[in-house]
């Protein structure tokens, strides 16, 4: 069983994906973290995330065995890393290098301790369209840019980090633009995706709506 969750930045994909993974006892992969890890590696090397050769080298250097440890790095959550991620994500050879890894996880999902799971939840931008076009359930989670910026703002404030709403909104709009207009695997709902607009929902309501959909669709 594969559940694919796509959508723009800060739409609540991650929270929904984790809640569903817990509910069904499936393994979860936040594919954005893969792109973030590549962006982070390029920044750490003092290079430009738009540099095709550097970004591709970083993407190819991934060792699936150590993936959990790499993806745990808290620095991956920074906004600067998110922006670098969306720059490396435009490069087709970077996407290509990360594709098999994601498909392998979907086919043979495993938990953090290495134990195999009977299902997978993957969240990202192109899971339902490119990575797992045959996923059993597909969600496209979205919300207005203003609502998403407000959520990021509150997340940063709660974490005691500096937060500037206008800058966050500008970054989100820029990232939406880049993610939606790139030639390879752009952000868009799969034709058979269930679109969940969470602008007026909290995390619990979005989770409930997703469970209701799965119950009806897979009854």
Q: What b/e sequence results for 46-70 when a residue is b if at least 16 CB atoms lie within 10 Å of its CB, and e otherwise?
A: eeebebeebbbbbbeebeeeebeeb
Q: Which of 3, 76, 6, 91 lies closest to 44, judged by CA? A: 76
> Using CB under 6 A, which of 10, 132, 206, 214 touches ligand CDP?
10
d(Cα 57, Cα 62) in Å, to the nearest integer?
Answer: 9
Say how many C-beta atoms besides its own lie within 10 A of residue 150's C-beta: 16
Shortest reach from residue 26's CB to ligand CDP, in Å = 18
- 142 binds ligand CDP, rule: CB under 6 A: no
Q: Judged by CB under 6 A, does residue 85 bind ligand CDP?
A: yes
Cβ nearer to ligand CDP, comparing 25 with 44: 44
The reply on whether position 126 binds ligand CDP by CB under 6 A is yes
Interface positions, 21-80, toward ligand CDP (CB under 6 A): 31-32, 35-36
* Size of the residue set binding ligand CDP (CB under 6 A): 15
Determine phi and psi for 42, rounding to 5 degrees.
-70, -45
171 forms part of the interface with ligand CDP (CB under 6 A): no
Look-up of token digits 């699936």: 64
- Looking at 41-49, 121-129, 154-162, 193-201, which segment touches ligand CDP (CB under 6 A)? 121-129
């Amino acid at each position: 069983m594969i559940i694919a969750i796509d959508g723009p930045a800060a739409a609540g994909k991650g929270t929904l994906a984790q809640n569903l993974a817990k509910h069904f006892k499936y393994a979860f992969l936040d594919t954005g973290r893969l792109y973030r890890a590549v962006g982070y590696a390029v920044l750490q090397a003092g290079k430009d995330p738009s540099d095709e050769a550097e970004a591709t080298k970083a993407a190819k250097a991934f060792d699936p065995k150590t993936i959990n440890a790499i993806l745990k790095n808290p620095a991956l959550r920074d906004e600067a890393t998110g922006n670098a991620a969306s720059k490396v994500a435009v490069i087709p050879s970077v996407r290509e290098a990360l594709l098999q890894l994601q498909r392998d996880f979907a086919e043979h999902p495993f938990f953090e301790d290495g134990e195999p799971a009977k299902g997978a939840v993957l969240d990202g931008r192109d899971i339902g369209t490119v990575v797992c076009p045959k996923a059993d359930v597909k969600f496209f989670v979205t919300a207005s840019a203003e609502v998403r910026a407000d959520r990021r703002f509150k997340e940063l404030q709660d974490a005691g980090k500096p937060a500037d709403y206008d800058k966050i909104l500008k970054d989100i709009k820029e990232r939406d633009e880049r993610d939606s207009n790139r030639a390879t695997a752009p952000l868009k709902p799969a034709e058979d995706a269930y679109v969940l607009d969470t602008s007026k929902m909290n995390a619990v309501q979005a989770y409930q709506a997703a469970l209701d959909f799965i119950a009806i669709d897979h009854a």
